[in-house]
């Protein structure tokens, strides 16, 4: 993917690095530690959502942003990156799919699968050039670990200009940087489900002005949903070099990941299995030989590989003060690897053996397993498909900007370039009847998927495969201005013009790829995005902002295949109030957005549909600290509905899968005993009802999930932690069955688990 624009971006980056080392340092000391946080949220410094990633006090921001520190991440103990999104108001994250394969929605914007309005970044550099593709969303290729210093989650606001027009949420993970002292952490974790994990991080000084950080983990377990083998296994290594001088800072980082886990999918809700620990996949169904082309060639696939990421993400961040009035910034990232999917997908509702018809080789109402075990008529059987999606991803993103300061005015001019690709092989369908018990077994050959369809379940026997390649080239120019009208009033505005060229080749064949191109096309498009806002500081602790933005989501490769070629325009109004003191802080944001064109959703009985939506709501992000007691509060209330559609039956319906309200309350208490320190912490997440489908025919009941933990630290650096996730063993459903909404299938959250960790800080 070394086209001319990519080379130009790389040359500009190298030139900036050279200039950085050639420029003499100013009198300002480099790498000085920031003062201790004595002002609570009022002193938090953010970089996400600012022009080029310049630093800004959170209290002064004219947009909604949530900051999550390393201690907050440790207390939340996320089992996947998607679970980090549960710490962000306004976001609905279905993290029940395992380590990867989440569905993430934002502020009532319609998704229905994957994460069409979500961007992940490392040190401000996006890790892929488009928010999602089929069977891919960005949280699948990122793992949060001890190398992460903090997380910033920007919702709406200037995303429209600085985030590739992205109107939803940007989650920016800021890596730890080395300091003058060498320090580190080693930690070992286990659990009641057989987890073995080691984590480590080390940082310090290499030479004058040059600092390092290295870290990572290795992890293996059968999973909370025990698949009879270690279905979650992987490792990650991250390294970063930081150069700090009086003129600014340069970060060079790389992250290599090889981490996969079983992909949890909707399951039977009526077969009597434990919804918190049931796994459809097991030793009997782990390996499957599938046809891969029209010629009849086959390949054996190991479904232990589940869903995950084997690849590298690397980047370079540059922030230089060229003079007192000019700042040069560049964020560069490069991604290369495989984000494959191996899933055991249900086809229709489970049926009892007694409902099976005779087929000449077997009497009606009878069945046996492949091993010859006769099943009773009351036992459940179900069609499952072994689905394979092999996806090789590449991405290059470069964002170059210049900041110009004149008095109380700051202007930013930027050029954004990215190119990204996806090479796909799919074989979907491939249904086979399975005995629907824990780690199900195939049924005997005299039971077919057609037999189950005749009994009232499934869509029969079918297979669909593709061989495709997509490449995209994106260029954008943007400009932003921040004007300090008075000491209390600041006005912000920005505009972006983006051009995209997509090339897509498809071989779908009659069921399987046959070597003949069914599609070979090129698509060009362009769009404007803009935003403007005002921020007023009544006092140093109390402020308010108002913002309007108009952003977009461009088509991607799968949209071309499905002939969904519209640029999706998102208009958004936001009003925010901010109050922050060491004792108490509250950030409240009201929003209203409209979606002008969204095409189709995953599966379901509603036909492929173009529709528009409107959503409004309120987000709360608060914290109370009194002595050793701390209380965090996250809340979202929203109303999202379909306002227009090519299917009149759904007009006025609620947007699928997203609750009208969410609430997360997280108390903690810090105390000391005999020179040791400890923190007792917990969280209760409450979720309202949702609809499983656009037709609003299936309601998913609200649920409550409770976590509890204890962390103890010794004076010599030793620490221990015990964390109980889903303490009350809630069986809350995050989704129904997107392919058969009325079937008795659903995807519940993971059952109760307890994790133990011991470590040493030095």
According to the model, what pLDDT value does residue 408 have? 85
What tens digit of pLDDT does each residue of 532-555 get? 999 999 999 999 999 999 999 999
Question: Residues of the chain with pLDDT > 70: what percent?
Answer: 93
Q: Confidence band (pLDDT; 50, 70, 90) for 43?
A: confident
Asked if residue 678 lies in contact with residue 711, where contact means CB atoms within 8 angstroms, the answer is yes
What tens digit of pLDDT does each residue of 379-427 get? 999 999 999 999 999 999 999 999 999 888 999 999 999 999 999 999 9
According to the model, what pLDDT value does residue 599 have? 63
Burial 57-92 (b: 16+ CB within 10 A, else e): ebbebbbbbbbbeeebbbbbbbbbbbbbbbbbbbbb
Residues 319-326, mean pLDDT to the nearest whole number:
93
What tens digit of pLDDT does each residue of 418-476 get? 999 999 999 999 999 999 998 999 999 999 999 999 998 888 888 999 999 999 999 99
Lowest mean pLDDT among 106-115, 232-241, 319-328, 587-596: 106-115
Handedness of CA 619, 84, 759, 201 (dihedral sign): negative
Query: How many angstroms separate the CA atoms of 572 and 585, rounded?
Result: 25
According to the model, what pLDDT value does residue 601 have? 55
Tell me which of 524 and 26 has the higher pLDDT. Answer: 524
Residues 6 or more apart whose CB falls under 8 angstroms from that of 15 comprise none
Phi and psi, residue 427, nearest 5°: -140, 110
Structure tokens, 200 = 């480590």
Could you tell me the residue ranges of all domains in the chain? 4-761
CA distances to 16, 137, 586, 656 from 81, rounded to whole Å, are: 33, 11, 25, 23
Residues 731-740, mean pLDDT to the nearest whole number:
91
Helix H or strand E encompassing 53: none
How distant is the alpha carbon of residue 680 from its chain centre?
28
Query: How many angstroms separate the CA atoms of 195 and 757, rounded?
Result: 11
Asked if residue 157 lies in contact with residue 64, where contact means CB atoms within 8 angstroms, the answer is yes
Q: Is the pLDDT confidence value at 267 over 60?
A: yes
Q: Which fold has domain 4-761?
A: Maltoporin; Chain A (2.40.170)
Placement of tokens 């912000």 in the chain: 492
């Amino acid at each position: 993917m070394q086209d001319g624009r990519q080379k130009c971006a790389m040359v500009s980056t190298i030139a900036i690095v050279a200039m950085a080392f050639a420029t003499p340092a100013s009198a300002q000391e480099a790498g000085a530690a920031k003062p201790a946080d004595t002002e609570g949220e009022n002193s938090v410094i953010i970089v996400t959502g600012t022009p080029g990633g310049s630093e800004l006090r959170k209290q002064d921001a004219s947009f909604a942003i949530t900051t999550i520190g390393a201690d907050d991440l440790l207390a939340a103990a996320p089992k996947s990156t998607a679970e980090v999104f549960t710490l962000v108001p306004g976001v609905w994250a279905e993290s029940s799919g395992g380590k990867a394969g989440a569905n993430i929605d934002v502020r009532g914007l319609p998704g229905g699968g994957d994460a069409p309005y979500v961007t992940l970044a490392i040190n401000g550099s996006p890790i892929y050039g488009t928010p999602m593709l089929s069977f891919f969303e960005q949280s699948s290729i990122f793992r949060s670990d001890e190398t992460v210093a903090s997380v910033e989650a920007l919702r709406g606001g200037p995303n429209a200009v600085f985030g590739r027009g992205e109107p939803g949420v940007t989650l920016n993970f800021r890596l730890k940087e080395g300091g003058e002292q060498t320090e580190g952490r080693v930690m070992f974790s286990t659990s009641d489900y057989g987890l073995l994990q080691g984590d480590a991080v080390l940082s310090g000084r290499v030479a004058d002005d040059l600092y390092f950080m290295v870290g990572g983990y290795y992890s293996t377990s059968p999973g909370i949903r025990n698949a009879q083998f270690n279905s979650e296994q992987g490792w990650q290594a991250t390294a970063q070099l930081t150069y700090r001088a009086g003129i600014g800072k340069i970060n060079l980082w790389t992250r290599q990941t090889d981490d996969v886990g079983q992909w949890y999918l909707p399951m039977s809700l009526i077969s009597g299995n434990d919804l918190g620990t049931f796994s459809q996949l097991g030793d009997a169904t782990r390996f499957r030989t599938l046809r891969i082309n029209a010629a009849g060639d086959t390949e054996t696939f190991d479904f232990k590989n589940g869903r995950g990421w084997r690849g590298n993400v690397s980047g370079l961040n540059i922030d230089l003060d060229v003079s007192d009035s000019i700042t040069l910034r560049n964020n560069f990232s490069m991604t290369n690897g495989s984000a494959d999917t191996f899933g055991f997908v249900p086809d229709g509702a489970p049926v009892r053996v007694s409902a099976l018809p005779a087929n000449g080789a077997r009497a009606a109402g009878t069945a046996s397993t492949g091993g010859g075990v006769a099943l009773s008529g009351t036992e459940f059987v179900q069609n499952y498909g072994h689905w394979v999606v092999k996806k090789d991803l590449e991405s290059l993103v470069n964002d170059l900007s210049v900041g110009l300061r004149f008095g109380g005015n700051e202007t930013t001019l930027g050029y954004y370039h990215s190119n990204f690709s996806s090479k796909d092989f799919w074989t979907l369908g491939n249904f086979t009847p399975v005995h629907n018990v824990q780690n199900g077994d195939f049924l005997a050959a005299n039971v077919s998927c057609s037999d189950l369809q005749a009994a009232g379940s499934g869509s029969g026997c079918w297979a669909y495969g593709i061989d495709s390649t997509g490449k995209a080239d994106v260029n954008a120019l943007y400009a932003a201005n921040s004007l300090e009208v008075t000491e209390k009033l600041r006005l912000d505005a920005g505009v972006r013009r983006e051009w995209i060229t997509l090339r897509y080749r498809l071989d779908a064949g009659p069921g399987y790829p046959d070597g003949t191109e069914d599609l070979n096309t090129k698509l060009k498009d362009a769009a404007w995005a803009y935003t403007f806002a005002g921020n007023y500081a009544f006092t140093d602790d109390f402020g308010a902002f108002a913002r309007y933005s108009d952003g977009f989501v461009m088509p991607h490769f799968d949209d071309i295949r499905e002939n969904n070629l519209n640029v999706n325009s998102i208009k958004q109004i936001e009003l925010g109030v901010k109050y922050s003191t060491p004792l108490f802080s509250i950030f409240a944001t009201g929003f209203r957005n409209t979606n002008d064109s969204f095409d189709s959703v995953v599966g379901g009985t509603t036909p492929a549909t173009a529709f528009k939506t409107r959503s409004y709501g309120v987000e709360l992000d608060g914290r109370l600290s009194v002595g050793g007691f701390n209380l965090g509060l996250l809340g979202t209330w929203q109303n999202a509905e379909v306002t227009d559609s090519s299917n009149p039956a759904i007009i006025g319906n609620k947007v699928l899968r997203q609750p009208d309200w969410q609430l997360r309350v997280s108390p903690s208490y810090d105390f000391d005993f005999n020179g040791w320190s400890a923190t007792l912490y917990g969280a209760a997440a409450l979720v309202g009802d949702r609809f499983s489908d656009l037709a609003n025919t299936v309601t998913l009941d609200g649920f409550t999930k409770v976590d509890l933990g204890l962390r103890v630290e010794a004076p010599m650096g030793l620490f221990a932690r015990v964390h109980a996730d889903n303490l009350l063993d809630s069986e809350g459903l995050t989704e129904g069955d997107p392919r058969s909404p009325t079937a008795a299938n659903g995807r519940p959250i993971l059952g109760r688990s307890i994790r133990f960790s011991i470590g040493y800080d030095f």
